[in-house]
Structure 1
Amino acid sequence: METTRAFESIVIIYNPNSTGDAPRLAERLKDRLAASLPDRPRIDLMPTDHAGHAVELARDAAAGGTRVLVVSVSGDGGYNEVVNGVMQAGNPEAVCAVMAAGNANDHRRTVGTQPLEEAIAEGAVRHIDLLHIDAGDGDGEYAHSYIGFGLTPVVAIDLEKGSKGALKEMVSVVRTFSKFQPFEIQHSDGTRQTLDSLVFANIPEMAKHATLSEADEQPRDGKFEVIAFPHMPKWRIVVTAARAALKGLGDKPSVGRYEFTTIKPMPYQIDGEVQSVPADTVVRVRSVPRALATIG
């Protein structure tokens, strides 16, 4: 269900050192909104100056209890920080949006319905589900798109060590894949499972090309898809990845909650950013239905 909302203030958060075009896009968005919105809301540009700063800026912007729109001019990782900041603020009047300025932009590409400036002018707000992960670190963290264990974060770590660029990315992926080892988890009934990859997906696509499931592009059913690759020969992983890129992986199980215990320390990727979880930790992933008010 959509509602129409006029905003009292708009905060645009961006990384001034982005490898993309975030500073210019943020400035242009501010100018165009200032010229087009009839109610003349206050519009502030807020650059970040360190990792995690967008969480703080978004939380402070949303904490006032007013009808505020917090826009992240970023990729999936920057938007993840903004979403978590707004959720921490606990303001039901706060709305999030993202203007794509990253590498993959999976969330914006998959969930976006119209140009952002037009959507803000119309004020058509809708609510979508979020993922929440509790990995033994307190309050946990929200994800707007996906959480991945295994091959996904390992490749991401290696890519961050090198330079961007299609050829260098491909070389990094091949190098990491050749050295990759499977991981083991324990389920609540005591059984153990060896996997190459385990992804919890709130959207049907990731990494620009891979179609993970046949799920609705708008995450609003209180469930997420579980894409698990049991350990297999590397050639079969290549075939599976190619199928995901070319025609998708088909229907996958949808659940509202998923729980397992780690055997060893392991990294995971959440909306493009890499975190880690210690050994012997109970990991709980759940859907939070229609938790995020969004626009665009």
Structure 2
Amino acid sequence: MRALLVVNPKATTTSTRTRDVLTHALASDLKLEVATTEHRGHARDLARRAADGGQIELVIALGGDGTVNEIVNGLLHEGPDPDRLPGIAVVPGGSTNVFARALGMPNDVVEATGALLDAIAERRSRTIGLGLATGTPDTADAEVPGRWFTFCAGFGFDAGVVGRVEQQRERGKRSTHALYIRQALRQFAGEPHRRRGTITLSQPGEEPVDELAMSIVCNASPWTYLGNRPVYAAPRASFDTALDVLGLTSMSTAAVTRYGTQLLLSSPERGPRGKHAVTRHDLTDFTLESQAPLPFQMDGDHLGLRSSVTFTGVRRALRVIV
């Protein structure tokens, strides 16, 4: 099998020596090309060329969720076609690695490489669904509309947290769970829409839900991890269905304390619940619209401000070696 290994040299949990060892291990079983990313968007460009070239059968991401997201968007730049396009595989190298772990891959890079080689030898794969988000950017530096995501998107509060973390990382801070918690507390302290939300959830054939103070869109479960603890914002979300939504109509101190505790204690059977929690399961088409521009993120990548985002859940969009 001819494969392209896309290496993010800034991946949080890998070293040059580790990457070299893993490359040699993969090259022993594959006709392997190796490309190292040099800037933001480079992984997307590499994957796009692999999809257009017709020679590569598998693209392997060695990096975090951001690297995976870029590769997916490069592969699907002309739309999903899992029977024609290269498959994707992931060797987790980021700080959280939600996508790889949600697929059941080990979080250790060496163990994940061994699991991947076993999957290739046994020709194991699955075809999963993805989310597609489109909307009009509200800032000049925002991402071009129309982008795929693998496990989650956020409109409002959690996207603001992601943006704060990115700012800290640009200043040289390491991406740690403690950093996310600190920035979440700061985002909460400065949140202007805690008591009266500005977000409306609209879906065909249903009454809109108004005044959401925050919204999370999930394509998989768990939503994220705190260390080794999985956090389930939408426990029924799955790569085999469309999209799930968790919204909160209040972010008062009491509400955030209650729902934050529920998230920390969540499980595959039980997620946030209560009078301020709005949940929707298996949505194919819906829109989140805000009276004021809000931060927007996909797969942990802050994409600037949006006033409206339309989401589509696309089943059987991508072939994954796992």
Q: Which of the five TM-score ranges fits, normalised by the shorter chain?
A: 0.7 to 0.9
SS of residue paired to 1:136: strand
Question: Which residue matches 2:119?
Answer: 119
Bigger shift: residues 192-201 or 101-110: 192-201
Structure 1 position 153, deviation (Å)? 0.9
Q: Is the 8 A contact 1:125 1:293 kept in 2?
A: yes
Bigger shift: residues 44-53 or 120-129: 120-129
Question: Which residue matches 2:181?
Answer: 170
Instruction: For 2:61 and 2:96, locate their aligned partners in 1 and report how far apart those are by CA, in whole Å.
Output: 15
Bigger shift: residues 183-192 or 51-60: 183-192
**What pairs up with 1:55-94 in 2 under 5 angstroms?**
55-88=44-77, 92-94=84-86
Question: Which residue matches 1:42?
Answer: 31
C-alpha spacing 1:131/1:277, structure 2 compared with 1 (3 Å): same
Amino acid at match of 1:99: V
Q: Is the 8 A contact 2:157 2:295 kept in 1?
A: no
Bigger shift: residues 203-212 or 114-123: 114-123
What are the Cα deviations for residues 96-128 of structure 1, in whole angstroms up to 9, with x where unaligned? 111111111111111135722211222212100
Instruction: Pick one of 161, 168, 175 that aligns with 1:155.
Output: 161
What are the Cα deviations for residues 56-80 of structure 1, in whole angstroms up to 9, with x where unaligned? 0111122122351101111111100
Question: Which residue matches 1:4?
Answer: none
Instruction: For 1:23 and 1:257, locate their aligned partners in 2 and report how far apart those are by CA, in whole Å.
Output: 43
Alignment of 1:203 with 2:220, yes or no, is yes
**What pairs up with 1:1-296 in 2 under 5 angstroms?**
7=1, 9-21=2-14, 23-35=16-28, 37=29, 41-88=30-77, 92-112=84-104, 115-136=115-136, 140-162=146-168, 163-164=173-174, 165-182=176-193, 183-186=197-200, 193-208=210-225, 209-215=230-236, 217=238, 219-221=239-241, 223-248=242-267, 249=271, 252-254=279-281, 255-279=283-307, 281=308, 283-296=309-322
Structure 1 position 186, deviation (Å)? 4.1
Amino acid at match of 1:19: T
Gaps in structure 2 of 5+ consecutive residues: 107-114, 138-143, 274-278
Amino acid at match of 1:118: D
Report the TM-score when normalising by structure 2: 0.79
Q: Is the 8 A contact 1:62 1:70 kept in 2?
A: no
Structure 1 position 145, deviation (Å)? 0.5
C-alpha spacing 1:264/1:97, structure 2 compared with 1 (3 Å): same
Instruction: For 1:30 and 1:168, locate their aligned partners in 2 and report how far apart those are by CA, in whole Å.
Output: 31
C-alpha spacing 1:262/1:22, structure 2 compared with 1 (3 Å): farther
Instruction: For 2:178 and 2:131, locate their aligned partners in 1 and report how far apart those are by CA, in whole Å.
Output: 33
Structure 1 position 168, deviation (Å)? 4.1
Instruction: For 1:44 and 1:89, locate their aligned partners in 2 and report how far apart those are by CA, in whole Å.
Output: 23
Structure 1 position 275, deviation (Å)? 0.7
Q: Is the 8 A contact 2:199 2:213 kept in 1?
A: no
C-alpha spacing 1:293/1:61, structure 2 compared with 1 (3 Å): same
What are the Cα deviations for residues 107-156 of structure 1, in whole angstroms up to 9, with x where unaligned? 11111357222112222121000000011366600001011111111111
Gaps in structure 1 of 5+ consecutive residues: 1-6
Bigger shift: residues 87-96 or 238-247: 87-96
- The aligned length equals 281
